[in-house]
Copies of this chain bind each other. A is one copy, B any other.
Amino acid sequence: MGPAQRSGTLRSRTGYVAPACTRSVDHGSHLFSEAGKGGLLTTIRLWTDEEVSANPRVKAVFDDIRLTRNSEFINNFWRALANDPDALERTWAAIRQIMIAPGALDPLTKELIYIAVSAAHSCSYCVHSHTAAARAKGMTPAQHAELVAIIALASQTNALATALQIPVDPEFEAGTIPR
């Protein structure tokens, strides 16, 4: 039975006067109070701690995240990835290697770059989570203001270069020849 049938009954409940918010909190709690179980407003199930505990591979990653971050909190991103243990392990391993392991860039600079990419990709979740992470790593309001100003400036000059189809200067190409 496809969503259409389900939605048919749902529609008789809700009609069109209260269309759902993209994340539809109301509709979610409505279904919750009605269905007696949580309405997770996403395209995939977010795992609860209970479900995590029942899956050794997922539990191992969650335990490492909690240990590494020294916090009990696990955000929705990981609870969604838990549906695919391979993706969960692969993604956490990449974050450990790139964002957490000591490297040539400091942790805050890495978060600023992460925010810049997330904003350019219009990823609401990632802008929120990494702005919070950057603040937790000490980003000051002045640094945030400069980050946002650079993101806006780059977006503007990117648009100018693209709208005018400006040819790359040979000098920039030459600048990348290995010596």
Contact = CB atoms under 8 A, between A and B. Distances in A.
B170 A24 contact: yes
Nearest to A141: B83
Nearest to A150: B113
Interface residues of A, number: 130
A145 interface: yes
Nearest to A138: B2
A58 interface: no
Contact of A17 (B29, B148, B172): B29
A142 B4 contact: no
A19 B48 contact: no
Q: How many copies does the complex hold?
A: 6
Contacts of A27: 25, 170, 173-174
A161 interface: yes
Interface in A113-131: 113-131
A168 to B, nearest CB: 5
A154 B27 CA distance: 27
Contacts of A21: 21-25, 41, 167-168
Given A69-B4, A83-B141, A109-B112, A132 B91 contact: no
A160 to B, nearest CB: 5
A165 B70 CA distance: 27
Given A16-B46, A80-B166, A132-B171, 6 more contacts: A2-B71, A4-B73, A6-B174, A110-B146, A120-B121, A128-B173
Interface of A: 2-8, 10-11, 14, 16-29, 31-32, 35, 37-46, 48, 69-73, 75-77, 79-81, 83-84, 86-87, 90-91, 93-95, 97-99, 103-105, 109-110, 112-133, 135-137, 140-178
